[in-house]
Amino acid sequence: MIGYAFIIFCLTLSFVLVIQQLAAMQRDRNYVIEHDFAVNRESNLLEKYVMDMENGQRGYLLTGEAKYLEPYTTGQTKWRDSFNQLRELTSDTPVQEKNLIALKESIENWLIQTGGTLPTMRNGLENESYFNFTFFITHQSILDIRSQLNRFRGLEMGFVKERAAHLDAQNEMLINSLFVMLGVVIIFSLLAALLISRSIVGTIKQVTKSIIKLSSMKRDRSKRIHVTMNDEVKDLADATNMLLESQEEIEWQQRKLTEVVHMLQGISNLEMLGTSFIRKAAELFGASFGVFYIRSVHESRVGMLRMADYAAMEEGVEAGKTFFRLGEGLIGQCAIEKRIVHLTHVPETYIRLKSGLGSATAQSILIVPIIHNQEVIAIMELASFDKFTALQLSLMDDILEVLGTIVHSVQTRVEVERLLGEYQAMTEELQIQQEELHLTNERLEERNRYADERTRELEHMKVSFEEHAIQLELSSRYKSEFLANMSHELRTPLNSILILSQMLQENNSRTLTHDEQEYARVIHSSGNDLLLLINDILDLSKVEAGKLDIHIGELRADWLPELLLGHFEKVAEQRKLTFQIEMDTQVPKIFYTDEQRLSQILKNLLSNAFKFTHQGSVHVAFRMCSVEQIVEMLPSALHMEVMAVSVRDTGIGIATDKQEIIFEPFLQADGTTNRKYGGTGLGLSISRELARLLGGCIQMQSTEGKGSTFTLYVPSLPPLPEGVTIAHKEAAVAIDSMSNDYFIREYSESSEIIPKCEDSTNNQFKGRKVLVVDDDVRNVFALCNAFEQEGIIVSVAQNGQECLELLAKDPSIELILMDIMMPVMDGYEAMRLIRKNNHYANVPMIALTAKAMKQDREICLQAGASDYISKPLHMSQLLSLMQVWLSK
């Protein structure tokens, strides 16, 4: 604070001096400007007045007209005012004052010589000699007067220059003064900072050096920092000293604990353990007497048995009891309560500690329980002339943490040795008996052993088969339940993501920018990718369970390149890869297969190609197979058209020993936890199974480090009549045995693709009342926003019970969207109760579920649903479905 105050004082003084100097310079400047301007102005006016009088006089003398006398009269009146003003302004300059007096005399003489009055001038007009004399005198006098005025102004200009030079000198002096004051402030500031820092930094350096010196000493914390100043630095030194003392105490405790542990290592006898420890404890805690008890059974009673002592006298009062039952005395009570007993007020008759020189009463008694697994296994009692310190008690806590384990270890070792001895004795006896019976029972034992082994093997096989059958059944049921629940839990939040992102992408309100629409498109695309991942897991389960159906239909093969470009062109640009698609002219425009499954296979293959390619290209080629190729790759499709789709990349390739496992589910070529490429390992496995369901296959060629080529061979199947279903287990047999080759396609009303109407859709939905029953607020929010844009009046219920209550209050509901999995009352029960009411017997109800299992549709229809649609919802499909039922 002194340093800051000094610097502020210096700055303030400098500021005051600078202001004073600037004020003086300002006054001089103002004087120069105002005084010199006034002198110049008045001198010019005086000259003007004299010239006016001369011109007026001449004009009058020449013309005789009275109008020329007006300037003469005005100048004669005002020249004295200017003269007096000049004299007042130059009163401080004697030379100029003399010049002004001479100038006045010249003007007055000129006036006297020229007559000075109008009558005199008029008389001169008639006298030619007087006229000529007046003109001559006037001209000469005016020249003298002008010469005097010029001399006066010249002197005044010299004075102005002198004042300007004086101002320049003052300005230079101000600048020099500023530099001088700055130097003085810097010097004094540095001196103040040096003095103050020496009082602070110097002491801190001393403390730092002391700490470094102390830290460099091996195990020596006895040195302390001494500071004479009574300030914050002294507080720092005191805190450092306290830290050193604390560290010294911690090191002392750790050193003593290490000594105890080291001393007790290798002891295998309880008596030796008790004797060694009680002696070391007396040394550590300054005790003059000590007893060590061990938990034992004495005369059929559990208690604490005296095992060792330190400085004990003969058997008597001083020596104490040999055995304490649990709860008896402080020893037995300590064993029950499991806490340290510290007595500091010891009666004189309690115990006396004796030596060869005399005896004295103990001042402090410490009874300590030794615990292992929440049970007291030993107790130690110490007596001392002094009171036990907090440091000693802290050391005792540290020792007790390891002592219980050590004591228990010794007890266990003793017990093991005892049992080992008994076992050895019994073993010797058994060996004798076995030798006697060995010869007679050897053959019989051999036969019995063989029979027993066969029996156990058969029983084990039987039990294993039964357990395996039960586990398979439970596993299948649990897996189905798990996949259903997982489908619901994943599709429910995904539903709201897809709906809202699609609404943002469409930007019907025109409030989003192009970039925001692109963000919404990316979110919607990512949600669809997540949906595909969920479908992959469900597809794998269906494949394993033999319940995956295929749907053969018409496919526009010439649309496939555009479809693949739309999905992967951006990916290629981002990864800076060349993406080419080649379509052979022989590929027909119409191709009959399952479009969804074919697209799924191609997307999986292309995703892998882009995933494992860092530079180069990804090439897709569509071509038709020759008869020879069909015979080689798909002999069962000999009489069909077979299309081959090759996906070739220049990526990392696949090692030869890894090329078989990549088609196994959940396995990848690099299966380590630190692998570079992520993924579930399901894509190729599902693709191979889907290709087999479509009657085709997948072949792979790869060279590690150069790239891979995956080729899908898929036959063109005739379109299937509606109304019949075939599962994938029958698909391969069906393909082989096809003559006219009709596949059976599963018919589902909810899977129909109904095109959304044009502008009339909004008119049809406007004002229609729809009840949304769903407990997920995210789905409710998304559906309400979408429906409100269509003009639909939306009511919301969070469960089946609320749905029934709303229907009772508002009978004008025209359509119900019913979620299935809800609390209080689920969708199944709610739909059954609604159908029991005749008023709502014909109200359309569309079941919404995220489980998406095969049997869900039949269950919903049986419960009373008019139709069924799975989450996540596609708004165009949902609105089309609603339009159909509302129109009915």
Q: Are residues 700 and 781 in the same domain?
A: no
pLDDT digits 0-9 by tens, 20-76: 777 777 777 666 667 777 777 777 887 787 787 777 777 777 777 777 777 777 777
In a domain, 60, yes or no: yes
Of 269-283, 354-368, 746-760, give the lowest mean pLDDT range.
746-760
Give me the pLDDT at residue 130, please. Answer: 53
Q: Are residues 72 and 182 in the same domain?
A: yes
Q: Is residue 815 left, alpha or beta, with left meaning phi > 0 and alpha meaning psi from -120 to 50? A: beta
Q: Are residues 708 and 779 in the same domain?
A: no
Give me the pLDDT at residue 299, please. Answer: 75
Give me the pLDDT at residue 690, please. Answer: 86
Residue 845, pLDDT > 70, answer yes
Q: Are residues 777 and 871 in the same domain?
A: yes
In a domain, 395, yes or no: no
In a domain, 644, yes or no: yes
Give me the pLDDT at residue 802, please. Answer: 92
Give me the pLDDT at residue 741, please. Answer: 33
Structure tokens at 581: 């698609």
Average pLDDT for residues 679-692, to the nearest whole number? 75
At 140, the pLDDT band (50, 70, 90 cuts) reads: low
* Residue 287 structural domain: 266-388
Averaged confidence pLDDT in the chain:
76
Residue 450, pLDDT > 90, answer no
The percent of residues above 90 in pLDDT, for the chain, comes to 12
Domain termination residue (choose one: 364, 388, 412): 388
At 290, the pLDDT band (50, 70, 90 cuts) reads: confident
In a domain, 806, yes or no: yes
Q: Are residues 678 and 774 in the same domain?
A: no
Average pLDDT for residues 517-526, to the nearest whole number? 75
Give me the pLDDT at residue 721, please. Answer: 54
Say if CB 856 and CB 845 are below 8 A apart.
no
Q: Please report, for the domain that includes residue 576, its CATH number.
A: 3.30.565.10
690 vs 728: CA distance, rounded Å? 9
Q: Are residues 731 and 758 in the same domain?
A: no
Q: Are residues 9 and 129 in the same domain?
A: yes
Q: Please report, for the domain that includes residue 288, its CATH number.
A: 3.30.450.40
In a domain, 519, yes or no: no
In a domain, 433, yes or no: no
Contacts of 388 (CB under 8 A, 6+ apart): 285, 286, 342, 364, 366, 382
Domain termination residue (choose one: 363, 388, 413): 388
Of 200-204, 279-283, 313-317, 874-878, give the lowest mean pLDDT range.
313-317
In a domain, 122, yes or no: yes
Higher model confidence: residue 313 or residue 157? 157
Average pLDDT for residues 522-533, to the nearest whole number? 73
Give me the pLDDT at residue 578, please. Answer: 94
Q: Are residues 712 and 861 in the same domain?
A: no
In a domain, 496, yes or no: no
Average pLDDT for residues 718-724, to the nearest whole number? 55
Q: Please report, for the domain that includes residue 843, its CATH number.
A: 3.40.50.2300
Residue 758, pLDDT > 50, answer no
Q: Are residues 646 and 755 in the same domain?
A: no
Residue 316, pLDDT > 50, answer no
* Interstrand relation of 769-773 and 793-797 (parallel, antiparallel or unpaired): parallel
pLDDT digits 0-9 by tens, 569-598: 988 998 899 999 999 999 998 999 988 889
Residue 279, pLDDT > 80, answer yes
DSSP for 69-87, written as a single string: HHHHHHHHHHHHHHHHHHH
Residue 496, pLDDT > 80, answer no
Residue 633, pLDDT > 60, answer yes
At 646, the pLDDT band (50, 70, 90 cuts) reads: very high
Which of 425-429, 473-477, 555-559 is modeled with the greatest confidence? Answer: 555-559
Q: Are residues 676 and 781 in the same domain?
A: no
Q: Are residues 741 and 832 in the same domain?
A: no
Give me the pLDDT at residue 225, please. Answer: 67
At 114, the pLDDT band (50, 70, 90 cuts) reads: low
pTM score of the predicted model? 0.34
Higher model confidence: residue 825 or residue 68? 825
109 vs 856: CA distance, rounded Å? 136
CA distances in angstroms from 568 to 573, 580, 607, listed in the order given:
9, 11, 8
Helix H or strand E encompassing 384: strand 375-384
Average pLDDT for residues 483-492, to the nearest whole number? 65
Structure tokens at 446: 């051999």
Structure tokens at 551: 């749907």
Say if CB 74 and CB 52 are below 8 A apart.
yes
Give me the pLDDT at residue 329, please. Answer: 85
Domain termination residue (choose one: 718, 745, 772): 745
Angle between helices 827-836 and 856-863 (to 10 degrees): 30
613 vs 710: CA distance, rounded Å? 14
Residue 184, pLDDT > 70, answer yes
Question: How many structural domains compose the chain?
Answer: 4
Q: Are residues 765 and 816 in the same domain?
A: yes
